[in-house]
Structure 1
């Protein structure tokens, strides 16, 4: 009898990375697993490292074979697998400890054939969200099909997934051998063949990006002819597989995404690669692929890409180089003789990026940027902006414009989000009481819409979309028993009105247990269980509740109370070592069920924090335990890694001061600011080192608001350098910053040049403007 899960790890000359990879596998909290190590003829010490691990840990098995390539090594591992589930790991990458527990647990719960989790990229400077997975894995989707979630074709990686092995074998899936980009011809058809798929927003895979001085990975060697040939072959294989499935719309959608992303990077390389063979081979491959693409696919592309691929299909290299050079920075394509004028036309599209979401005096205040996508970033021009809410759901009433929309003008000086210009910034204030009908409050969801009008009077409208950096999304109690909750759905901002039946009132540590207290609204039912989940909608564990009279209650809400005891030992496994800068926070979301689970008719729900909830920050003996609101105001539990901990912050006209108590391993030797948006860029602004001052209650560091030591503009993560290590680790913070602590708090007005802001992953960054 084999293990429940088989993980195939092909190995070839990765000695410098392999131990870190194998350590992350050995630390997996999912116990019923076998790791099949396939040494594909390594010429360095990789084989010896793998053999030592297999000898020391019976979960690891080693297979040796002559070098035949990644696809062949994976196929060897598949033949040796015995588990009911199948997964793959590249031997230079790492996984968080909960990865397979979450992935396999999801499939066990849903019965789907494939589950796919979010991906973070990392190097020695830090970790950041994979842009390919930013849009596909923003929220949980369970039991979906590819035709219903077509953007999943952007998720071509095999290693962030777990497959049912009977599904894999039933469709005779194998990786192509002797070529690169083995994932695409397998994952895209697998998505199309699966009856249902689960998609999780929690990061389950850390994908290494090799740096200068190290051997580049396959995906980083784009300028090689062999790389070009194999990429086109992989894309054509996936496209033909979708055609064989018989769903023409899926094939067309995949072809569109391939021309926008997979193949676009080679298109944009052409002006920089002087190799005649490379350019000629590109034209041949592009021409062959485009003969299999429907004409309507090109119509879906932006004008610059549309013109460029038309020229590539016709083999017009000089004109193609001119167009690519002009358009790869976002400018419109220049006129080219013989290209129909219709290819240059584009439908006006609104481009937005949400900057912040806060609450003040019962109003939802948002800021961000909005402009027409066709307007060059450097010349946005003056625009009028309107903001309004549109109620979602069948039978919902539209909101009349004068009462529930507000015309806004562009405000110079608003901070830019992503690469949108500051002059496109807007702020808005939404009075939530306007959503209350004459009959009273009722549940509902409203899409936040915006529109711009340019100098010519051309209007462009659309939903407010999030950018690359997703802000925190706090909820607010707007009336007794009524919550207003900003949420993201497919990347668009919505405002949801809820009438919760239960909520958390407090948390404390007692007798080696975390005790969560809660209340139930009038007429509600006391929850039978409290749940912990590492990702929304997928329960990790359930704990029974105790009902008892509520002597205090919540003002004006009445009801009864309940409590739940969670053994701290259940949480202790998550208190791992220090992590690199930018690592997503780990922890659990807290929910409840009125029955034993969905099968008993008691659906699992989020447990929001009540009005007046007191957050639990470092407790005696548990300095890294945080119980606080997460996105949507849902109760969350986190355990921070051992090490120094920021517990307070203050601000005055000179700048920011942060400090902590020496409760988890002493004070840091040095605090480091690392530029957050450029972790992947070796040419990013240099780290800023902040000296640590010892004080009676612990330690502190100062961030100046003026002078030569003030941080350059941008977003910065806090790190620290341990006394015995050169690695910069994440500096955990137990303080919660809701609206951005900055100099405006001290000065009373004006934009804060230095401020602290949270993100939706519960990290706190410094922003300098």
Structure 2
């Protein structure tokens, strides 16, 4: 079984050798390694060519800069493997990552294998992290529907380097990453999960995710927030088209997400000069109203405490746009009080199900 490893490369000359070395050193040897030089202005193009001279499994694609999605799409087009795996060029992978993923595929007759990851600093120092994605300690076998629900509930992260997938999941469904936008993983993760036959999650740390200042999503901006909303819309559109029975689940999850937004976070976003645009604020309010109406039309009940939190959120956005005036502390205190009641309600619901 040939595994294609796709590595988009841009302005990572400090980390690229370490990344490629970790791929070349895989205990599973039947690899096709595609280094996609996305018009990098530093020494990355030469570093890629040097690696291709050392290892005949490596092919280099030099292309004009088009962004991460464009680079991934270029690699995906050229990939010929039975399985596809993406690696970010400033990260590293465990020596047995591909071996363990392929072995798990064969053992469980799965076409999508997910694993855990840890975090490292720019200087390779291990960092403490607490991702819900890693919060399991036994092998989990899931249907596509179960995987989608877990992803929407943030129990599975959207990182494309956190799983290895059979190539037909991409090749047979016209898959491509959205070019010209960020948050591309969230926009397409459910397209992969939804086209799998069987998903297996293994409790093994096989990827080392580097947190650094220069990464694409290291800083928030108004445009990044808009890209996030587009990604959420893309994800929802795919799920509702492919799995229409999940419509009620999706509506409630979105309302729950908005209900959990912290008023303090909104305040800090404004004071940090992220500036909530009035048009964005209006769209947020309209989106909440649409979701509520969809829930009412479908006959699905929205918990009263969630409704209260949503009203508070809409009020808080209005106040943020108006520079918060004089009632920040009062609304924040109410927010905390109602949020506590909402969490108790959700805990009781889970207890009743058990």
TM-score if structure 1 supplies the norm length?
A: 0.40
1:140 maps to what in 2? 139
1:84 maps to what in 2? 82
1:171-226, CA deviations, whole angstroms, 9 ceiling, x for partnerless residues? 22110001001111111232233332111221122111114xxx2x222211x122
**C-alpha displacement of 1:287:** 3.4
- Aligned pair in 2 of structure 1 residues 92, 344: CA closer, same or farther (>3 Å)? closer
Judge which range, 243-252 or 60-69, deviates more.
243-252
1:225-257, CA deviations, whole angstroms, 9 ceiling, x for partnerless residues? 221111111111111211112121442355256
Measured on the aligned residues, the alpha-carbon RMSD in Å equals 3.6
1:99-129, CA deviations, whole angstroms, 9 ceiling, x for partnerless residues? 1111122112222232111121221342334
Give the secondary structure class of the aligned counterpart of 1:232.
helix
Map residues 446-485 of structure 1 onto 2, 5 A cutoff. Answer: none
Give the secondary structure class of the aligned counterpart of 2:335.
coil
1:65 maps to what in 2? 63
**C-alpha displacement of 1:346:** 3.1
1:468-493, CA deviations, whole angstroms, 9 ceiling, x for partnerless residues? xxxxxxxxxxxxxxxxxxxxxxxx9x
C-alpha contact 1:117 1:204 (8 A) present in aligned 2 = yes
1:272 maps to what in 2? 271
Give the secondary structure class of the aligned counterpart of 1:239.
helix
The separation in 2 between residues aligned to 1:262 and 1:11, in whole angstroms, is 35
**C-alpha displacement of 1:4:** 1.1
Map residues 41-60 of structure 1 onto 2, 5 A cutoff. Answer: 41-60=39-58
Does residue 309 (structure 1) correspond to residue 328 (structure 2)? The answer is: no
Judge which range, 193-202 or 36-45, deviates more.
193-202
**C-alpha displacement of 1:91:** 0.6
**C-alpha displacement of 1:260:** 6.9
2:170 maps to what in 1? 168
- Aligned pair in 2 of structure 1 residues 60, 150: CA closer, same or farther (>3 Å)? same
C-alpha contact 1:303 1:345 (8 A) present in aligned 2 = no
- Aligned pair in 2 of structure 1 residues 253, 187: CA closer, same or farther (>3 Å)? farther
1:101 maps to what in 2? 99
The separation in 2 between residues aligned to 1:332 and 1:41, in whole angstroms, is 51
2:228 maps to what in 1? 231
- Aligned pair in 2 of structure 1 residues 347, 233: CA closer, same or farther (>3 Å)? closer
Residue among 227, 237, 242 paired with 1:240: 237
1:346 maps to what in 2? 342
1:357 maps to what in 2? none
1:186 maps to what in 2? 188
C-alpha contact 1:13 1:42 (8 A) present in aligned 2 = yes
Query: Which has more helix, going by share of residues?
Result: 2
C-alpha contact 1:185 1:237 (8 A) present in aligned 2 = yes
C-alpha contact 1:140 1:200 (8 A) present in aligned 2 = yes
Judge which range, 285-294 or 179-188, deviates more.
285-294
1:201 maps to what in 2? 203
The separation in 2 between residues aligned to 1:262 and 1:60, in whole angstroms, is 45
The separation in 2 between residues aligned to 1:188 and 1:39, in whole angstroms, is 27
**C-alpha displacement of 1:150:** 2.4
The separation in 1 between residues aligned to 2:260 and 2:341, in whole angstroms, is 21
5+ long unaligned stretches in structure 2:
296-300
C-alpha contact 2:23 2:95 (8 A) present in aligned 1 = yes
2:13 maps to what in 1? 15
- Aligned pair in 2 of structure 1 residues 242, 45: CA closer, same or farther (>3 Å)? same
The separation in 2 between residues aligned to 1:312 and 1:115, in whole angstroms, is 41
The separation in 1 between residues aligned to 2:68 and 2:261, in whole angstroms, is 20
For the pair shown, the structure with the greater C-alpha radius of gyration is 1
1:585-616, CA deviations, whole angstroms, 9 ceiling, x for partnerless residues? xxxxxxxxxxxxxxxxxxxxxxxxxxxxxxxx
Give the secondary structure class of the aligned counterpart of 1:15.
coil
Give the secondary structure class of the aligned counterpart of 1:7.
strand
Give the secondary structure class of the aligned counterpart of 1:147.
helix
Map residues 530-679 of structure 1 onto 2, 5 A cutoff. Answer: none
The separation in 2 between residues aligned to 1:265 and 1:122, in whole angstroms, is 29
C-alpha contact 1:147 1:250 (8 A) present in aligned 2 = no
Give the secondary structure class of the aligned counterpart of 1:55.
helix
Map residues 113-128 of structure 1 onto 2, 5 A cutoff. Answer: 113-123=111-121, 124=123, 125-128=125-128
The separation in 2 between residues aligned to 1:49 and 1:173, in whole angstroms, is 29
C-alpha contact 2:4 2:34 (8 A) present in aligned 1 = yes
1:105-159, CA deviations, whole angstroms, 9 ceiling, x for partnerless residues? 2112222232111121221342334424133x44311243333772233221111
Query: In the comparison of the two structures, how many residue pairs are matched?
Result: 339
1:532-568, CA deviations, whole angstroms, 9 ceiling, x for partnerless residues? xxxxxxxxxxxxxxxxxxxxxxxxxxxxxxxxxxxxx
1:484 maps to what in 2? none
Map residues 362-373 of structure 1 onto 2, 5 A cutoff. Answer: none
2:298 maps to what in 1? none
**C-alpha displacement of 1:291:** 4.8
C-alpha contact 1:311 1:320 (8 A) present in aligned 2 = no
C-alpha contact 1:93 1:207 (8 A) present in aligned 2 = yes
C-alpha contact 2:169 2:195 (8 A) present in aligned 1 = no
C-alpha contact 1:323 1:333 (8 A) present in aligned 2 = no
C-alpha contact 2:67 2:180 (8 A) present in aligned 1 = yes
C-alpha contact 1:37 1:62 (8 A) present in aligned 2 = yes
C-alpha contact 1:271 1:325 (8 A) present in aligned 2 = no
- Aligned pair in 2 of structure 1 residues 50, 252: CA closer, same or farther (>3 Å)? same
- Aligned pair in 2 of structure 1 residues 255, 43: CA closer, same or farther (>3 Å)? same
C-alpha contact 2:38 2:67 (8 A) present in aligned 1 = yes
